[in-house]
Structure 1
Amino acid sequence: MDLDIVVPVREGAANEQLRFALRSWAAHLPHGRVWVVGHRPAWAVGVQHIPTRQRGTKYENTTLAVRTACEHAAVSSRFLLANDDMFVMKPLVEMPVLHRGPVRNVETYYAAGDYLRGMRETRDLLADLGHPDPLSYELHVPMPLDKAGMLDALDVARHLDVVHKRTLYGNLTQLGGAEIRDVKIMRRSPGGYTEDDVFLSTMPDSFAAGHVGAYIRRTFAEPGPYETRRA
C-alpha cells in the first residue's frame, strides 16, 4: 500500500512551489492521498486538508502540523513527510530513506541563528538519550516515517522551541538510510544540480527567478491532478 504524503503549508501566498511539487509527486512519487496541513491554496483540489492555527514561529507551526497529522485517524499509519518546496524529478518505485550525514558535520554549514541553535539542542537531547553521534535527516526530500514513532519523538522534545524533528525521529527509531548531499538550490544562476538529479528543492527566489526554477517549470509544464485548470 502506497504511503500518504503529508505537507505542512504556511498561510498566505498562492504558493507556486507547492503547485509544481504536487505535479512532481503525481508524476514520479508513488503515494496514497495527499494531506495539506495548515493552509490550502484556493487552486488546490483533490487533496485532503487539515487546517491548523498558525500563531507561532515557523518552527512551532510546522511542528504543530506534523503532530496534527500524526494524531489524525485518517492519515496512513506510515506516511511521507514533505515540504512544499520538494520536487521529485525522476520516477521512483518507492521513496528511499536518506540522511545528510553526522550532525557534527552539518553544523559547520551554519554560522548562527535559531536553526543552528535548534540543531545543537536536538543533538544534545539525542546525546542524552544515548545517541552521541547522531545523523542529520534535515534534507529537502520527502521522509518516510510512522505516526507513533514521530509522536514519541515530539513528546520527548516538547521543551524545545526549534526541534529538528526529522533528525530526532530518524535517530530515535534507528532509521538508517543512505547519505546524500542536501538538494536545496539557493541561487538564481546555473549550477549546483544536474538534470540527472532525482530530487531538487528551491528557495522562493531561486524558483521564481532562477535557472533551477525554469528547469522545474519546463519539466512539469502540464497541470496535474491536484490543481484547478487555469483559464
Structure 2
Amino acid sequence: MDWVIPVRVGEPAEELRYALRSIAAHVPHGRVWLVGYRPSWVRGVRHVPTRQLGSKYRNTTLAVRVACEHLEISDPFILANDDMFVLRPISEVPVLHRGPVRDVEAYYEARSSGAYLRGMRETRALLAELGRPDPLSYELHVPLPVSKAGMLRALDLGRRLDVLHKRSMYGNLSRIGGEQTADVKLIDPRAAVPEEWTFLSTLPTAWRGEAGRHVRARFPRPCRYEGAR
C-alpha cells in the first residue's frame, strides 16, 4: 500500500525526516505521497500540493479528500502524520482503536476543552444519528489503513462539522473493527519511550526531549527519501 502523509507548510520539518526514515527501515510499502507541502530536502516521494487556507483540521481533511480522489494513489492506502514513527519492523499496518468515544471524551473533559473536544462530541452525535450509538475512537497517533470509498463517504456525511474526527467517522461507518490500544503520543520532554511500543508520535515538547533523542538515535542514517540538509 502507498503511504499518504498530510504535511503543513514549514521547514525544516525534522520530525518528517525521521518519520520517513522509520518507514523506509521498517515497513514494506509502495510509494510515499506528501499531500500539502513538500520540504525542500525531500527526495523520491510523490507530491500533491494543496491550498492550506483553513484551520489545521480543515487542511488535513482536505488533504485526505484529495488523496482519496487521486487516481494514482493505491486503494487502500496508509494514512499517517508527519510526526509518526515506526519503531520496529512490521509486515503490515494493524487496525487499532482507542476504545469507546465516550471514554475518550471523558478523558479529555477532565483535562482540556476547545475545538478538538467539541469536534469529538459532534462527531459522536453525528455517528449516533447514523446508527452508531456507541462508536469507537480511531483518533490514535498511529498509521491507519484507509479505503478510499469508505473515507469519502465519511467526509461527505461529516462535511458540516468544523472539526470532524474523520478517522472515527470512517472507522465506525466502515466497521473496520481492530484492536484496542492506548495512544502513543508523548508530550512530556522527560518521558521515556516504552520498549514495547511499535509506534510513537511526539509533540514538539517531547521531540526536543527524551523521545526525540530516542528517535534520532534509532534512525541516524539518511534514507532514500531525503537529500542534503
The alignment's TM-score, normalised by the length of structure 2, stands at 0.97
Residue of structure 2 equivalent to 1:164: 165
Which residue of structure 1 lines up, in the alignment, with residue 151 of structure 2? 150
- What is aligned with 1:203? 203
- The residue number in structure 1 matching 2:227 is 228
Give per-residue Cα distances to partners, 1:123-158, cap 9 Å, x unaligned: 000000000000000000000011111001100011
In the TM superposition, 1:117-136 aligns within 5 A as 117-136=118-137
* Deviation per residue, 1:89-133 (Å, 9 max, x gap): 000010000000000010122231100000010000000000000
The answer to whether 1:49 aligns with 2:39 is: no
Distance (whole Å) between structure 2 residues aligned to residue 66 and residue 225 of structure 1? 24
Distance 2:89 2:119 in 1: 34
- Using the alignment, how far apart are the partners of 1:170 and 1:76 within structure 2? 18
Q: Which piece of structure 1 moves more, 130-139 or 194-203?
A: 194-203
Match of 2:176 in 1: 175
Does structure 2 retain, via aligned residues, the 8 Å contact 1:17–1:204?
no
Describe how 1:29-108 pairs up with structure 2 within 5 A. 29-108=27-106
Q: Percent identity, aligned pairs only? A: 61
Query: SS of the residue aligned with 1:36?
Result: strand
Equivalent residue number for residue 217 of structure 1: 216
Alpha-carbon shift at residue 14 of structure 1 (Å): 1.1
Number of paired residues?
226
| Offset of residue 32 of structure 1 | 0.4
User: Runs of 4 or more off by more than 6 Å in structure 1?
Assistant: none
Q: Distance in 1 between matches of 2:143 and 2:90?
A: 12
Question: Within 2, Cα distance between the matches of 1:171 and 1:31?
Answer: 25
Is the CA contact (8 Å cut-off) linking 1:223 and 1:229 kept in structure 2? no
1-side partners of 2:138 and 2:223: how far apart?
29
Secondary structure of the corresponding residue to residue 7 of structure 1: strand
State how far apart, in whole Å, the 2-side matches of 1:190 and 1:100 are: 21
Q: Helix, strand or coil for the counterpart of 2:149?
A: helix
2:212 maps to a residue whose letter is: G
Distance, in Å, in 1 between the alignment partners of 2:155 and 2:79 is 14
Residue matched to 2:185: 184
How many Å separate the matches in 1 of 2:119 and 2:187? 21
When normalised by structure 1's length, the TM-score is 0.96
For 1:115, the equivalent position in structure 2 comes to 116
Distance in structure 1 (CA, Å) of the matches to 2:28 and 2:141: 18
Q: What 5-or-longer segments of structure 1 have no aligned partner?
A: none
Name the amino acid aligned to 1:124: A
Q: RMSD value over aligned CA atoms? A: 0.9
Decide whether the 8 Å contact of 2:191 with 2:206 is kept in 1.
no
* Cα displacement string for residues 37-90 of structure 1 (whole angstroms, at most 9, x for unaligned residues): 000000011000000000000000000000001111100110000000100000
Could you tell me how far apart the structure 1 residues matched to 2:127 and 2:114 are? 20
Q: Matched residues in 2 for 1:67 and 1:190: separation?
A: 35
Structure 2 spans left out of the alignment, 5+ residues:
none
